Amino acid sequence: MTKNILLVGGSHGIGFEIAKNLHEEFTVYVASRTNDELGNLDVNYISFDATTDTLDESELPDELHGFVYCPGSINLKPFKMLSLDTFKEDMELNFFSMVNVVKTIMPKMAEGSSMVFFSTVAVSTGMPFHTSVAAAKGAIEGFAKSLAAEYAPKVRVNTIAPSLVDTSLAKRLLNNNKKRELMDQRHPLKRVGEAKDIANLASFLLKEDSSWVTGQSIGIDGGISTLNVN
């Protein structure tokens, strides 16, 4: 039996790389605002905006064996420059919209299925200018661990906590050679992440190879959260 994987926000960046990894082995459903980059991938596209829409269950299979929620934000500003509305918007996109999707699909999650969410290294390692995004992603980590406990052993739930990854979301931080070099040098492995670095871990967590992994927040961050080598 072919297993079904749902990616919310899987048309570009990390989500797109996950779709590339999985589409030949699984039946992949991509729910996102656009499908511009999906190209010739063998996936089922669902037009969906996580902040405004509710997933139409009729467009989904009866059973889901894997789920990844990819939408996120990076609002890096001093706390004094962040309005309360910014905190609310970050929480809405990163957390509440995710919870809304999980509410819809949880009855469809099959025995032994897997859910993967995204956090940030800034939750476990305090970093200046990350108060809003760290708050939203911290909510995801707490939610994921509680959900993993509540639905064990039927559904595994894990969180990936990356450092800076070279995607369109981070283009403002990597838009010239000087910025990129600075960001590369901050990491012990001397480079920022690539979408495929994160996608490879997400793909592992969706497969049977990770069947004894749940309730974890896994850092994939070039060593920045644990190594002091500068």
pLDDT at residue 1 greater than cutoff 80: no
**What would the DSSP string read from start to end of 22-53?**
HTTTSEEEEEES--TTTTT--EEEEE--TTT-
Supply the pLDDT for residue 229: 85
User: Which of 140-154, 167-181, 206-220 has the weakest average pLDDT?
Assistant: 167-181
pLDDT tens per residue across span 86-138: 999 999 999 999 999 999 999 999 999 999 999 999 999 999 999 999 999 99
Q: Is 106 exposed, middle or buried (0-12, 13-18, 19+ CB in 10 A)?
A: middle
Q: Tens digits of per-residue pLDDT, 197-223?
A: 999 999 999 999 999 999 999 999 999
Q: What pLDDT band is residue 80 in, cutting at 50, 70 and 90?
A: very high
Which pLDDT tens digit goes with each residue over 6-38?
A: 999 988 899 999 999 999 999 999 999 988 778
172 CB-near residues (< 8 Å, 6+ apart): none
* d(C-alpha 167, C-alpha 12), whole Å: 8
Residue keyed to tokens 């049977």: 208
pLDDT level of residue 81 (50, 70, 90 thresholds): very high
Q: Which residue has the higher pLDDT, 65 or 1?
A: 65
Q: Reply yes or no on whether the pLDDT at 71 is more than 80.
A: yes
Give the C-alpha separation, 122 to 131, whole Å: 9
Alpha carbons 16 and 168: distance in angstroms, whole number: 12
Q: Which domains does the chain have, with CATH numbers?
A: 4-166+195-220 (3.40.50.720)
pLDDT averaged over every residue in the chain: 95
Higher pLDDT: 148 or 172? It is 148
The per-residue pLDDT for 171 is: 82
> Of the candidates 24, 12, 174, 8, which has an alpha carbon nearest to the alpha carbon of residue 104?
8
Cβ(43)–Cβ(91) below 8 Å = no
Residue 230 confidence class, pLDDT cut points 50, 70, 90: low
pLDDT of residue 137: 97
